[in-house]
Every structure is written in structure tokens, then in C-alpha cells.
Structure 1
């Protein structure tokens, strides 16, 4: 049976083919404009699931990077303050050693006592240090000043830890408490108590009491060094975590680019080819639909 091909059928088929050619050209134009070969789920249903997963992991990784940056800032600041605490206790240690020399006149001991009093005040100032408006040595109660000049030796800081997460199951405490650095109120080597005691002893010329407090002062210096060593270890671990996050970020971006990014040279080649086909289809179509009613009458 012979099928009669009508003019309407030819026009419909032509229009369908021209639209298909234009659709392919539009797809490649869109890819070229966005630089992505996946612009909607239907472009690659399997690829879009991987792309969404990579984007989610990159977003999580970005938050971990922010956590590391914030934590590094806090740990480095704490280390700086501990360094300053170390400097003043070393100066106090020099003064006490000089004061315990039995050849000093009382006037010299009075001068030593006054400087130790200033060191005490500086220790209180450092104990009340703040970062971004938060007290760094008062545990989780960062909005409350931990020490006062009049009663630092009898004041206890909060023991809570500020914990930050840097990966699934990876957490690190960021702070150290004032009690860890300066001592508990019940500790015989509480820094504030020892400094006040030394000041009083030298003012009174009491060498025996000063000698006893000097031994306790030595144990507190050792504990301060241990705390600073722990803070330094945290800083080193944060550096390792930071490097890992950056490496993971590069890897995820590479995987995401492989899944989503278009090959620009290939896309341009396809687009030029599609344009040629589209122009050819228009040229052929012009010849097909050229006959008019007058042509049929002839």
C-alpha cells in the first residue's frame, strides 16, 4: 500500500527537525554559558546525585575550615598570654632569688616587694584577658570576669571546656582554665597567693617565709610551662587538621569538577556543528516550503 506524503506532513516533519536541531544548539549554548554540563537533573540523573553529594561535603568542609580558623586564633592568643604569664613569673623568680640573698638591706627588700606587687597586679590583668569580648580563662562562663585584684587568691574559675568539632568524631578543647594556669584556691602554689605572700614576707624582712614560698613558686612555674606545652600541642594538631581539610577540599573540588564541569573545547566544537546543521535545515526547509498555490495551479 502506497502512503501519500502530503505537504502538511512535510511541513510538520520539517518543523520537528528544525526544532530538534535548535534544541541541541540551545543545550550546548547553555553549557557554554554556565561552564557546567549538568544544569538540571535530567541532564545526568546519576551524575547529579554525585554532584549534590560533593557539594554537601564541600559545604561541611567549609564549616570545619571556619572552625579551625576560629580555634587557631583562640589557641594562638592563649599561647601568647601564657607566654606573657611566663615572662612575669620568670621576672618574679629573679626578684625572689635576689631577695633571698642575705646581704640585701631592708630598703632593697622593700623595692623587691613593690615590684612583686606590680607583678601580682599584672598577673590578675592577664587572668582577666579577653578575646572578642570573652574572658579566655573562665571556662564556659566567658561573660564573667574571673578575678579581682583584691581577692584573686580566693577566686575559682569555671572548669568547663569550650569544645569545637573539626571532622566527624574529631573534637578538641580550645581553652585552658584559670585554675589550671594560676592554681586552685586550695593549692599551696596558687600563683596569686604565693605572690602576695612573697610581697608580705619581703616587706617584713621574713626570709624564712620567703624561702618556703619560693619552693612553692617553683612548682607553679613548672605547671604553667606544662599548660603552655599542652596549648602548643593543640596548636600543632590544629595545623595538621587544617592541612587535612585543605587537601580534602582540593580533592572534593576536583571530583565535583570532573562530574559537573564541561569540556569547553568539545562544547564549542559541538555548538559550531549544531549551528551548521541548524542553518542547513533552515536552508533545506526554505526550498521545501517554497511552493505556493500558484505553483500547484501551474
Structure 2
């Protein structure tokens, strides 16, 4: 077989072109830090990368949901803490008012402070996160206590004030993991109505100057309400603990997903740089050999 100069030149150019392509690919990997920059480089690695990235995006979204759950539950618990403090003060005032040594003027002053506590609890019932009222069920645009009518929002059915089908009592759930939802709101609007009715009865009895023994009955009513608040806070605390457990699980899942994605996509810099230096040496050798095997031309002899 006769080997011509054009064959040698063609093979040389083709090999140099392949060498340039390999060198360019390794250099691109070093620049980007990724094994593949397009699906055609390695379809299997690219497909796995899409799956790992989707998993990581889901974990990040669930983490944002966890943050929202923390916000609602912490705000709710803090609000009930303040309601409990107000009722504790109301109980102390009723102990004073029920004493037979308390004068009508003193009871009038007590009634004035009780009215302020009533207004304070009404304002707590209208607690908001952003633009959402947290105690209105799914009617987050509606304030539980209407300052215009000076009344709490009425249930759809007065005979079923805690009906779960009533939007004011519907739970708001948020997904914190695949298929796992946690209720982030509390629906105590009937509890707030009971508190308001209790304050109304206390005020009427003080104004009617009933006896101290009759006023003392309201202390038991306040204690019963405070018991309900403690029960509600216990439920909130249980959900807070569940959210903390899910948060820890998500943090571990994020680390695992990130590690998998890195192992699948990221290059080993030491190995890549070694390959680049090796390929560069091969390329230089190819250029040197090519310069020797190509026949000299007349121009070379005219130097």
C-alpha cells in the first residue's frame, strides 16, 4: 500500500483535531467543575443529575414550608401566652372584687381594668401573619373580631359553633414532606367568644352590684377558660415538636441529596488536572512528531 504525503497530512490534522477536542473537554470540566455540561456528554449521568436536582429542590421547598409552619405555630403559641397572662390578671382582679371589703368605687375601677383586658384579648384574636388572620380558619382575610359591629364573626350554624365544615373552624395544612401534612393554624374563635361573653357577664354583675359570693363564681369560670387555653397550647406544642422532628429529617435529607448530586456531577479536580497535563503533553508530542514527518518544501531550503 502506497502512503502519500496527503494521507500523512490528513491523519495528522485529524489526530490533532481529536487531541484539541479532548483537551477542550477536560479544560471545560476544570472550568465548570462538572463532569457533563450537556446531556450528550453522558446521558446516564445527566439523567441521574436531573433526578437528584429534583429531589434537592423538593427538600428545599419543604424546608421553606417548615419555616412557614414555625412562623404560624410560634406566633399562635405566643398569642395564647399573652391571652393566658391577661386572664391571670382578670382572675386576680376578681379575687379582689369578690371580697366584701371592696367598695363600689373599687369595683368600678376593677371593672374598668377588666374592660381593658377584654379589649386586649380582642386585639389578640385579630393577630395576623402578613395579611392573614391566623384565628379565622380558612377565611384568612376576615378578622375574627369585627371592630365595626363590635362582635366576633358568627358561625354558619349557631347550634354548631365548632363545626369543622365552617370556614372559621377549618384547619390549614401545609406539606412538610412527601405525603405528610401538618396543621399550622388553630381555630379558637369559639373560645374567644366564650371569653368575651364571660367578661360581659362579669361587667354586668359588677354594675348590678351583686354580692361578693356571686362575683366569686366568675373566678371558677376564668379557671375553666384558662384550662382550655392550656389544652390548646399543649396541642400547639405537640405540633411544634413534630415540626422540629421533620426539620431535622429534612436537614439530613438535604445533606444526603447534595452529596449524591455532587458525587454524580462534580469532577475530581486532582484527577482532572492530571488528565489535562497528560493530554497537553500528548498534544505537544503530536505537534512535534507531525512537524518531523511532513516533507520539507522548497521554502525550507530558501531560508
TM-score scaled by structure 1?
Answer: 0.91
Q: Deviations over 1:63-119 (max 9, x none)?
A: 111111111111111111111111101100111122112221112111111111111
Structure 2 residue runs without a partner (length 5+): 156-166
CA separation of 1:42 and 1:168: change in aligned 2, threshold 3 A: same
42, 47, 66: which one aligns with 1:49: 47
Matches of residues 62-77 of structure 1 in structure 2 within 5 Å?
A: 62-77=60-75
Please report how far the alpha carbon of residue 250 of structure 1 lies from its aligned counterpart in structure 2 after TM superposition: 0.4
Q: Deviations over 1:207-256 (max 9, x none)?
A: 35423333222211110111112112212211111111111000000011
1:219 aligned partner: 224
Q: Deviations over 1:141-177 (max 9, x none)?
A: 1111221356436744811211100111110111112
257, 260, 264: which one aligns with 1:259: 264
185, 188, 208: which one aligns with 1:178: 188
1:187 aligned partner: none
1:159 aligned partner: 169
Matches of residues 226-237 of structure 1 in structure 2 within 5 Å?
A: 226-237=231-242
CA separation of 1:294 and 1:265: change in aligned 2, threshold 3 A: closer
Please report how far the alpha carbon of residue 258 of structure 1 lies from its aligned counterpart in structure 2 after TM superposition: 0.6
Identify which range, 147-156 or 17-26, moves more after superposition: 147-156
CA contact (8 A) 2:39 2:46 kept: yes
Identify which range, 70-79 or 263-272, moves more after superposition: 70-79
CA separation of 1:264 and 1:154: change in aligned 2, threshold 3 A: closer
Identify which range, 246-255 or 36-45, moves more after superposition: 36-45
Distance across 1 between alignment mates of 2:79 and 2:46 = 50
CA RMSD of aligned residues (A): 2.0
CA contact (8 A) 2:146 2:153 kept: no
1:111 aligned partner: 109
Distance across 2 between alignment mates of 1:5 and 1:153 = 100
**In the alignment, is residue 17 of structure 1 matched against residue 9 of structure 2?**
no
1:120 aligned partner: 118
17, 32, 38: which one aligns with 1:34: 32
Q: Deviations over 1:259-280 (max 9, x none)?
A: 1110001100110111111111
3-state secondary structure, aligned to 1:140: coil
Please report how far the alpha carbon of residue 138 of structure 1 lies from its aligned counterpart in structure 2 after TM superposition: 0.8
Please report how far the alpha carbon of residue 181 of structure 1 lies from its aligned counterpart in structure 2 after TM superposition: 3.8
Please report how far the alpha carbon of residue 196 of structure 1 lies from its aligned counterpart in structure 2 after TM superposition: 1.3
3-state secondary structure, aligned to 2:169: coil
3-state secondary structure, aligned to 1:279: helix
Identify which range, 201-210 or 246-255, moves more after superposition: 201-210
